[in-house]
Structure 1
Amino acid sequence: MTTFEPARTAHGSAAPFYTPPLLHPVHQFGTRTLDFSRQVALMAIVNRTPDSFYDGGATFALDAAVAASLAAVDGGADWVDIGGVPFAPGPALSAAEEGDRVVPVIEAVSAASDVIISVDTFLPEVAARSIAAGAHVINDTTGLANPELAAVVAETGAHLVITHSLARPRTVYPRPSYGDVAAEVAAFLAEKVELALSLGVPAEKIIVDPGHDLNKNTLHTLEITRRFNEFAALGFPALAAVSNKDFIGETLDQDKAQRLEGSLATGVICILGGARILRMHNVASASSAIRMTEAVLGWREPAYLRHNMGDVNQPAHR
Structure 2
Amino acid sequence: MTPSLGPAKRAGSGSGSPASAAGRWSDLDRPPLNAAALRRALLRPGSLWTSLDVVPSVDSTNSDLARRAPDLPEGAVLVAEEQTAGRGRLDRTWSAPARSGIFVSVLLKPAVPVQRLAWLPLLTGVAAATALARAAGVDTALKWPNDLLVHVGKGADKEERKAGGILAERAAEHGVVVGLGLNVTLRADELPVPTAGSLALADAVCTDRDPLLRAVLRSLEEWYRRWTAADGDPAASGLQEAYAAGCATLGRTVRAELPGDRALTGEAVAVDGDGRLVVATADGGREAVGAGDIVHLRPAG
Q: Which has the higher strand share?
A: 2
TM-score > 0.5 by shorter chain: no
Give me the TM-score of the superposition, normalised by structure 1. 0.27
Question: TM-score by structure 2 length?
Answer: 0.28
Q: Whose Rg is larger?
A: 1
| Structure in which a larger fraction of residues adopt helix | 1
